[in-house]
């Protein structure tokens, strides 16, 4: 399964929503949109650590790293030592 989809699915399955067809965009800020609170942020970090086998250090706890699916994916790329330079 694609990493972005895994994160997006986790968020969508764990936020309170009114519409069953609810979905988030990869660039949608989950904090400013009111979708999540600080308690969910901790659950999300725990999920990311377990699912992707990474250790999130205190220095990593910057809200920008976890504000949207795209930023989470970029953060994981850095943590996992993947080459993130785009080919143009």
Q: Hey, where are the domains in the chain?
A: 3-15+22-79
Identify the pLDDT of residue 7. Answer: 97
Identify the pLDDT of residue 26. Answer: 96
What would the CATH number be for the domain defined by 3-15+22-79? 1.10.1200.10
Walk along the chain (88 residues) and give the pLDDT tens digit of each residue.
699 999 999 999 888 666 677 788 999 999 998 888 888 999 999 999 999 999 999 999 999 999 999 999 999 999 998 765 544 3
From CA 23, how far away is CA 39, in angstroms rounded? 20
Identify the pLDDT of residue 88. Answer: 39
> To the nearest 10°, the Cα dihedral for 41, 42, 44, 50?
160
pTM equals 0.85
Identify the pLDDT of residue 8. Answer: 95
In DSSP notation, 12-32 reads HHHS--S-TT----TT--TTT
């Amino acid at each position: 399964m694609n990493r972005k989809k895994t994160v997006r699915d986790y968020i969508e399955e764990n936020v309170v929503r009114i519409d069953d067809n609810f979905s988030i965009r990869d660039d949608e800020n989950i904090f400013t949109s009111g979708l999540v609170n600080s308690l969910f942020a901790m659950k999300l970090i725990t999920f990311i650590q377990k699912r992707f086998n990474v250790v999130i250090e205190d220095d990593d706890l910057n809200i920008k790293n976890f504000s949207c699916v795209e930023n989470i994916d970029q953060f994981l790329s850095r943590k996992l030592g993947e080459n993130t330079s785009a080919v143009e």
